[in-house]
Amino acid sequence: MDALSLVVAALLGTVLASFLACIPGLHIYSIAGILLVLNLRLQGRVPVELLALFMLGLVVGYAVVNAIPSIFLGAPDESTLFIVLPGQRYLLQERGFEASVLTGIGALGGLLVLALLSPALPRVLPVVRTVVAPHLHWILAAIIAFMLLSEWPKGMDRGATPWARFIDAWRSLGAGLLTFLLSGILGFVLIYGNLVPAEMAFQNLLPAFTGLFAIPWVLQNLLSQIRMPVQQVGRSMDLSPRLVAQGVGAGALGGLFAAFFPVVTGGVGGLLAGHATAQRDDRLFIVSQGASKLVYYVGGLLLLFVPGLHLTRGGMAWMLSVSYVPEAPATYWTVIGATLMCGALGFGLLLWLSRVAIGVVSRVDYRWISAGTLVLLIAIVLGLTGWGGLLVAVVATGIGMLPVLWGARRTNCLGVVLLPLTLQMAGLGPTVASWIGLV
């Protein structure tokens, strides 16, 4: 198939994903899975290579634009979780548009990093995979240990007695550990259970992620009764080239790590990069998170196209790999070019859609938006995964509320994937599942 048709398919995917990314709680992998199932039922009438480039456009558009609901509507997913707190602070300071643009600048920087690295990837990554593959289980275990050990006490150290101060310090720490443990057990239930209809098995994690990340934040918005200030749309950014380079470098580092290693998400990659580079500036932080999630989503899919590697990382690559394996090395360079064009298009749409979001939040009460978002999230879970998925979402919401109520880090909810899959790689998954009573 000619390169022009492939590029056009990718650009169309970017346009569609940019609009869908503005719907709170709707992950692009859900739409991609439905499209793949429809194409199979149509006996593959859409050429698989054309569909693959369309899916690439979906991923790029979503990665660039999906900060909008996190900043303006308060419904994050696992990749935008870290953007929320600085983004919400910007929103309450009438600078929501600026926060959105900062994520877009980070995303463009992440695309540039991927483009610059693209000539080296076919030569370097096969060697890296050979070296790292036998050690994945303990590397992931080390990441888990770092996540848990880096959860610092958030108490005020003002208790009347040592015991009171001890309890105050361990309140958030205990909530974090409990959140990780409970979400990990939920992950085992999802792996060994059968709560989602078989035909929608590719959406197995949708209800869990919705309950762990999106619904608790929306409920918090409803309870806090936030009054939204009028947002300003500036014509310039208080952002130096040095800050851009530092933020993009840190975010790309975390995103590359998350894209290459299984189970590690963009949020975890951003966390590791933030600690490694000692980020303290909100602008720097938001730029780095924009770069991290772009490199995580897009880089993970690009690994499927790398000649001599064809590595499946991330949900989109796993879905595509069932029916598509790139054959011609020239496809890789077509994909790189299409990715850059999709990123530029996505950034333009981000600027426009951010203004649309400002218009919505300025005219509609934030509590009504939060209520509507909650109804939409429930409808998505119920429509795609049935009553079993809704039950999972309810349980996950209870777990996801623990960090909200007790001030723990919300990344502990990623135990839903980190704990069971790390133990599976170490060969301990069935043993732990039997302890829980799942086998």
Of the listed ranges 10-19, 113-122, 188-197, the one predicted with least confidence: 188-197
Confidence check: pLDDT of 184 > 90: yes
Average pLDDT over all residues of the chain? 83
Q: How confident is the model at residue 2 (pLDDT cuts 50, 70, 90)?
A: confident
Q: What is the pLDDT of residue 195?
A: 76
**CA-to-CA distance for 392 and 400, rounded, in angstroms?**
12
**CA-to-CA distance for 275 and 174, rounded, in angstroms?**
22
8 Å CB contact between 102 and 237: yes
Confidence check: pLDDT of 194 > 80: no
Q: What is the pLDDT of residue 188?
A: 92
Percentage, residues of the chain above pLDDT 70? 90
72-92 burial, b at 16+ Cβ within 10 Å, e below that, comes to bbbbbbbbbbbbbebbbebbe
The residue behind tokens 């119920």 is 382
Structure tokens at 193: 């259970």
Structure tokens at 192: 């060994």
How far CA 274 is from CA of 113, 247, 281, 403, in Å, comes to 18, 9, 11, 20
8 Å CB contact between 62 and 17: yes
125-149 burial, b at 16+ Cβ within 10 Å, e below that, comes to bbeeeeeeeeebbeebbebbeebbe
Which among 34-48, 309-323, 386-400 has the top mean pLDDT? 386-400
Q: What is the pLDDT of residues 422-434, one digit of tens each?
A: 898 888 889 988 9
Q: What is the DSSP string of 148-211?
A: HHT------S--SSHHHHHHHHHHHHHHHHHHHHHHHHHHHHHHH---S-GGGGGGTTHHHHII
Q: What is the pLDDT of residue 107?
A: 94
Q: What is the DSSP string of 109-149?
A: HHHHHHHHHTTTHHHHHHHHHHHHGGGHHHHHHHHHHHHHH
- What is the DSSP secondary structure assignment for residue 236, as one 8-state letter? S
Q: How confident is the model at residue 155 (pLDDT cuts 50, 70, 90)?
A: low
Please give the average per-residue pLDDT across 3-32, as a whole number. 88
The domain spans of the chain are: 3-436
Please give the average per-residue pLDDT across 345-365, as a whole number. 90
Please give the average per-residue pLDDT across 241-270, as a whole number. 82
The burial class, CB within 10 Å (0-12 / 13-18 / 19+), for 30 is: buried
Q: What is the pLDDT of residues 102-134, one digit of tens each?
A: 999 999 999 999 999 999 888 888 888 888 888
Percentage, residues of the chain above pLDDT 90? 23
Q: Is residue 309 left, alpha or beta, with left meaning phi > 0 and alpha meaning psi from -120 to 50?
A: alpha
Q: What is the pLDDT of residues 371-413, one digit of tens each?
A: 888 898 898 888 888 888 899 999 999 999 998 888 788 888 8
